């Protein structure tokens, strides 16, 4: 066997191992759509749900409940869009969407995310509202980093950036909405666009 064929076989084995241990059907388009949904949701919240100067958004107010519903809608739209696009890409590439790797990815992603969600609810129930956007960004970033070892792409770098933005937001809590737009909106669009162009070249 020549050295050239040997290297080719090693590369193929490596690719097979990578496919079996990493979820590779994620699409950059899902990130772009998630960012767009986040920005649209933030605009709606800013003009219709946020309190006027001198007022506060209390936990039991109607606007707060509507804001939670808006956040849930943005998250649901993002998940549904990602599922549809990922499923189509997986079928096109003859890959499985749901397997042991997908389960590991979801578990590692949801542990920090659910923990953060519960912690945020506890803080809100104690009437600590100022760091909500910061905590959302930080725990979301931790979830991305924790799940990154089960997928391809530089998802961990997106996670690191989300964490950094969340920490800066904690220092400047009065600008929480704008950091939220930057982290969940613009960063997703930028990262999704980079991924999409890389996919187009392959």
User: How high is the pLDDT of residue 61?
Assistant: 80
User: How high is the pLDDT of residue 9?
Assistant: 45
112: left (phi over 0), alpha (psi -120 to 50) or beta: alpha
Integer angstrom CA distances of residue 21 from 103, 145, 152, 200: 11, 16, 10, 23
Closest CA to 132 of 144, 143, 119, 150: 119
Residue with the two structure tokens 């659910």: 114
Cβ contacts of residue 41 below 8 Å, gap of 6+?
Answer: 70, 71, 73, 74
Domain boundaries of the chain, sorted by first residue: 27-89+96-201
User: How high is the pLDDT of residue 56?
Assistant: 62
Residue with the two structure tokens 């709606």: 44
User: How high is the pLDDT of residue 199?
Assistant: 74
Rounded Cα–Cα distance for residues 178 and 80 (Å): 25
Query: For the segment 115-160, what is each residue's pLDDT rounded down to a tens digit?
Result: 999 999 888 877 777 788 999 999 999 999 998 888 766 889 999 9
What residue ranges of the chain have pLDDT lower than 70? Answer: 1-26, 53-58, 97, 152-153, 202
């Amino acid at each position: 066997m020549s050295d050239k064929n040997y290297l080719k076989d090693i590369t193929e084995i490596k690719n097979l191992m990578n496919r079996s241990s990493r979820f590779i059907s994620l699409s950059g388009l899902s990130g772009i759509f998630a960012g767009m949904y986040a920005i649209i949701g933030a605009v709606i919240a800013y003009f219709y749900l946020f309190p006027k100067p001198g007022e506060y958004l209390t936990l039991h107010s109607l606007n707060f409940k509507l804001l939670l519903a808006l956040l849930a809608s943005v998250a649901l739209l993002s998940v549904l869009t990602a599922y549809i696009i990922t499923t189509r890409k997986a079928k096109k590439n003859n890959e499985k969407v749901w397997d042991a790797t997908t389960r590991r990815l979801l578990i590692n992603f949801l542990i920090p995310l659910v923990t953060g969600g519960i912690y945020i609810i506890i803080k809100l129930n104690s009437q600590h509202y100022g760091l909500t956007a910061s905590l959302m960004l930080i725990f979301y970033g931790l979830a991305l980093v924790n799940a990154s070892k089960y997928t391809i792409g530089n998802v961990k770098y997106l996670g690191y950036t989300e964490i950094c933005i969340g920490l800066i937001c904690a220092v400047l809590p009065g600008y929480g909405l704008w950091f939220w737009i930057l982290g969940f909106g613009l960063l997703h669009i930028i990262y999704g666009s980079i991924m999409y162009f890389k996919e187009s070249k392959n």
